[in-house]
Structure 1
Amino acid sequence: MSQAEIVQPSILLVDDDESLLRLMTIRLRGEGYAVQSAESGKDALRLLNTQNVDVVLSDLRMPGLDGLSLFEEIMAIGKDIPVILMTAHGTIQDAVEATQRGVFGFLTKPIDHDELRGLLKKAVSQTQTLQKGEWCEQIITRSLHMEQLLDQAYRVAQRDVSVLISGASGTGKELLASAIHKASKRAQKPFVAINCGALPENLLESELFGHAKGSFTGAVNEHQGLFKEADGGTLFLDEIGDMPISLQVKLLRALQEQMIRPVGSSKQIPINVRVISATHRNLTTEMSEGNFREDLYYRLNVVNITLPSLRERAEDIPLLARYLLKKSAEKHEVKVSRFSDDAMQLLTTCLWPGNVRQLVNVVEQCVALTQTSVIASHLVEQALSASEQKWPTLTEARDAFEQQYLLKLLKMTDGNVTRAAELAGRNRTDMHKLMKKHELHSGDFKRE
């Protein structure tokens, strides 16, 4: 990711007192800050919708949108910027309420400039640390939305709280999780990832918590599990929405107690792991349908980051396409330098239902097929057509197999759910949930 080098820290100063606004602007510029000013909360929000700043310094008492309301609006639009509030009528209660809501600092007028200087230095340091570093260099973007999201991700990384990353398949959830890990205090420890939808329940439990030697057929050695492997670092649970309910209970217990018990073992093992999870599912819907535990949801979703689809950040498509082309050409040792104008036009107007993952696939195919240094539009058309009939992911293949299995089972048993559950080695409740997931109804299989 390329970001312009920051020469001066930028401050947005908000106050309805025009003379104070002018005086503080002069003073702060004299101390090396780039200052923008707004005379109301609404004006400040308009500025923030189009520009990034390092700190917001606002009066608390203002007509219309006051300082606290402005802070909440800033958080609501995804701008996780340090906000410092000033007031001529400050009380301890005001300061406590402000800091409880997440306000960075609170100052009483007349302003103590040493105190202000210290607060601003600390706030700017929080914003700018690692902005020019390598923590998110693999996330290629020029989108304002993505830049704001990365600002939020960096600040979240410092807090060592659980993060739930939402977004459609192929939007780069694991890439963001890895970036958060690199920006955190756990960066020198392992980052371990697992797809919760790719393994059956018994294997997933063993992979997460480990198992004792001889705990089941094939367990010829002790296995420490991914929680222990990630100890001190970050465990990324991809497709957490696909985790079976019974295993969700064990995961919740492990997170609450910071202890795990390997399969077939009686001993508890302490763990020190930050959990980042991700899903393409709507977990609110999954909870209402009884497929996801509410208590686990709130344990995992301390902070939620939602990644936009590729078509929602269309300005990034040319940037990403050129980056991926260069990377793929180097990998395959092919002398290809660019897309033709028509080819790039095709890429930028595609809807990209498979998001960044689909774009990666299309660029790889173009590089593999081209015989010239410029990729022509017909190669992009060919690759786009092929990507629409893409090879399924493991989760998609598993769901397709599960549906076909249930269809055959219900046909064999004439829609008798009890008999079908027995043959599948499941109980009736599980069988009904599976049927609901695949929109199958027992009555459709009963013979006349």
Structure 2
Amino acid sequence: MNQATALVVDDEPDILELLELTLARMNVQARCAATLEEAKTWLGREPFQLCLTDMRLPDGDGIDLVAYIQERFPNLPVAVITAHGNMEAAVRALKCGAFDFVSKPVDLQILRKLVGSAIQLTDAESPRDRRSRDVLLGDSAPMRDIRGKIVRLARTQAPVFIHGESGTGKELVARLIHAKSPRAGKPFVAVNCGAIPAELMESEFFGHKKGSFSGAVADHPGLFQAADGGTLFLDEVADLPLHLQVKLLRAIQEKRVRPVGGHEEIPVDVRILSATHKDLKALVDEGRFRQDLYYRINVIELTVPPLRQRREDIPLMADRILNRIARDNGLPPLKLTERAFKTLCRYDFPGNVRELENILERAAALCEGEVLDADDLHLPSASAPVSTIPSEAGTPLPEGPFSLEDYLGEIERRAILDALAQTRWNRSKAARRLGMTLRQLKYRLQKWGLDGGED
């Protein structure tokens, strides 16, 4: 294996010597620089696989070097060395494009993991990267933009906050970021923060020791330990209670966790990706989400657009979904008529991609032939003209004669779909939101042939 070379920039001789010795034990040759200008000279002289730079240099700032490298050597990962507790500087560096950061005094175990991950970034593009279009479907401008961002975000360790409505594919985006990163060979651990009982959250995230509480019959590793070396995806992060937000913030900043009932902290190397369909900034303003944690997980924000904002992707997605349904169920190839395609493209999809999949799975199950028409989709008419003059009740009415029963039924159907989308298709939560019993909701879903998801 060829020896890698790292550029180390620091004006403290003791730190330079420590880093040089540590790198040498990892078969990494170090070139040392004490100033920003000296570092630029080295960068112009030979190629490097990694740059480590202190934040404070005699003739500039470490972030200046990050920006310089981003502009001239975009494929070179650069990590910054920050003063202990100076998270603001670390976050600024990550926003400017730094690969990662390490705090003083330098924890050599954390440093070794950082160096190993950074050097892997210089490997050739993997076949997984070239297959991404087969996973994240769509040729619309928003989807091309997201695919490009995923590739760039995979090259950094910065926390990414993925925002989007329910059903848009936020977890898929997180998985792709992980799959294209140097952490791809390590675990990807996804957790729905709203699905863990509050009393078990600390144990689930950080683990517990045997005997630490009633029922703790053995040591239990938490989610951070399970994701060590890989990626921890916090879905619906807005649902975390405030008391856990404090401990989560410390774990992210210190890169260490203390199991419940434990006396020692355990170092963990985890990249944090998070997501929610809620307005996290509004929750911060309302005091329901900690501002410091918000800025820590929201170093880079990536918004996944709803399906209605990229309607041109619907025909391609529908074809791929139908092909998968036919293959998984041993059916002959299924096709949509032109009329069915137009009906799908006019529909707003409050449940986004997840709802599109449910609609097509239902249609494929109920249709007797191999060609699906618009009527097989059981969607409301997307082309019916709506009067611009509101009724006295404030709800616009269709023009001309219409069936009141069908009209009211469609209003009810849309309200139920919205509630399902907002609760991630959890029927029990949707029923509570709509003020009806679960039995009543199931009856309506059965009547319309809708798959309401998990209880």
How far, CA to CA, are the matches of 2:429 and 2:379 in structure 1?
28
SS at match of 2:357: helix
How far, CA to CA, are the matches of 1:364 and 1:141 in structure 2?
20
The answer to whether structure 1 residue 279 and structure 2 residue 276 are counterparts is yes
How far, CA to CA, are the matches of 2:305 and 2:329 in structure 1?
30
The answer to whether structure 1 residue 242 and structure 2 residue 247 are counterparts is no
Residues 377, 401 of structure 1: CA spacing in aligned structure 2 closer, same or farther, 3 A cutoff? closer
How far, CA to CA, are the matches of 2:312 and 2:366 in structure 1?
26
Which residue is 1:260 aligned to?
Answer: 257
Residues 210, 402 of structure 1: CA spacing in aligned structure 2 closer, same or farther, 3 A cutoff? farther
AA aligned to 1:105 is: R
Q: CA deviation at 1:398?
A: 4.6
Q: CA deviation at 1:161?
A: 1.1
> Which of 67, 71, 79 matches 1:104?
71
Q: CA deviation at 1:168?
A: 0.8
Matches within 5 A, 1:68-107: 100=67, 104-105=71-72
Residues 305, 173 of structure 1: CA spacing in aligned structure 2 closer, same or farther, 3 A cutoff? same
Contact 2:128 2:180 in 1 (8 A): no
Residues 360, 218 of structure 1: CA spacing in aligned structure 2 closer, same or farther, 3 A cutoff? same
- State the TM-score, normalizing by the size of structure 1: 0.60
Which residue is 2:334 aligned to?
Answer: 337
Contact 1:361 1:387 in 2 (8 A): no
The answer to whether structure 1 residue 230 and structure 2 residue 227 are counterparts is yes
How far, CA to CA, are the matches of 2:129 and 2:271 in structure 1?
25
How far, CA to CA, are the matches of 2:309 and 2:202 in structure 1?
37
Matches within 5 A, 1:423-442: none
Residues 395, 213 of structure 1: CA spacing in aligned structure 2 closer, same or farther, 3 A cutoff? farther
Contact 1:283 1:292 in 2 (8 A): yes
Q: CA deviation at 1:387?
A: 8.3
Q: CA deviation at 1:340?
A: 1.4
SS at match of 1:137: helix
For 1:193-234, what per-residue CA distance to the aligned partner results, in whole angstroms no more than 9, with x for missing partners? 000011221222222111222222222222101111111000
Which residue is 1:52 aligned to?
Answer: none
Matches within 5 A, 1:54-69: none
Which residue is 2:292 aligned to?
Answer: 295
AA aligned to 2:236 is: E
The answer to whether structure 1 residue 393 and structure 2 residue 360 are counterparts is no
Which residue is 2:37 aligned to?
Answer: none
Give the % identical residues: 42
Which residue is 2:147 aligned to?
Answer: 150
Residues 220, 330 of structure 1: CA spacing in aligned structure 2 closer, same or farther, 3 A cutoff? same
Matches within 5 A, 1:18-57: none
Q: CA deviation at 1:399?
A: 8.0
AA aligned to 1:104 is: E
How far, CA to CA, are the matches of 2:149 and 2:166 in structure 1?
21
How far, CA to CA, are the matches of 1:387 and 1:380 in structure 2?
15
Q: Which runs of 5+ in 1 are unaligned?
A: 1-91, 107-124, 405-448
> Which of 301, 308, 325 matches 1:311?
308
AA aligned to 1:264 is: G
AA aligned to 1:340 is: T
For 1:10-53, what per-residue CA distance to the aligned partner results, in whole angstroms no more than 9, with x for missing partners? xxxxxxxxxxxxxxxxxxxxxxxxxxxxxxxxxxxxxxxxxxxx
Matches within 5 A, 1:112-261: 133-135=130-132, 137-261=134-258
For 1:66-97, what per-residue CA distance to the aligned partner results, in whole angstroms no more than 9, with x for missing partners? xxxxxxxxxxxxxxxxxxxxxxxxxx99xx96
> Which of 352, 356, 365 matches 2:353?
356
Residues 223, 98 of structure 1: CA spacing in aligned structure 2 closer, same or farther, 3 A cutoff? closer
Contact 2:137 2:316 in 1 (8 A): yes
AA aligned to 1:227 is: F
Q: Which runs of 5+ in 2 are unaligned?
A: 1-58, 74-121, 382-409, 436-455
The answer to whether structure 1 residue 366 and structure 2 residue 333 are counterparts is no
Alignment RMSD (CA, Å): 3.1
Residues 364, 201 of structure 1: CA spacing in aligned structure 2 closer, same or farther, 3 A cutoff? same
Larger displacement relative to structure 2 (217-226 or 322-331): 217-226
Q: CA deviation at 1:297?
A: 0.9
SS at match of 1:304: strand
Q: CA deviation at 1:100?
A: 2.7
Contact 1:237 1:278 in 2 (8 A): yes
Residues 211, 250 of structure 1: CA spacing in aligned structure 2 closer, same or farther, 3 A cutoff? same
Residues 128, 260 of structure 1: CA spacing in aligned structure 2 closer, same or farther, 3 A cutoff? closer
How far, CA to CA, are the matches of 1:240 and 1:169 in structure 2?
13
How far, CA to CA, are the matches of 1:133 and 1:375 in structure 2?
32
Q: CA deviation at 1:283?
A: 1.2
Q: CA deviation at 1:101?
A: 7.8
Residues 179, 364 of structure 1: CA spacing in aligned structure 2 closer, same or farther, 3 A cutoff? same
AA aligned to 1:374 is: V
Q: CA deviation at 1:362?
A: 0.7
For 1:263-301, what per-residue CA distance to the aligned partner results, in whole angstroms no more than 9, with x for missing partners? 222221110000100011111111110011111111111
Which residue is 1:347 aligned to?
Answer: 344
Residues 394, 365 of structure 1: CA spacing in aligned structure 2 closer, same or farther, 3 A cutoff? closer
Which residue is 1:76 aligned to?
Answer: none
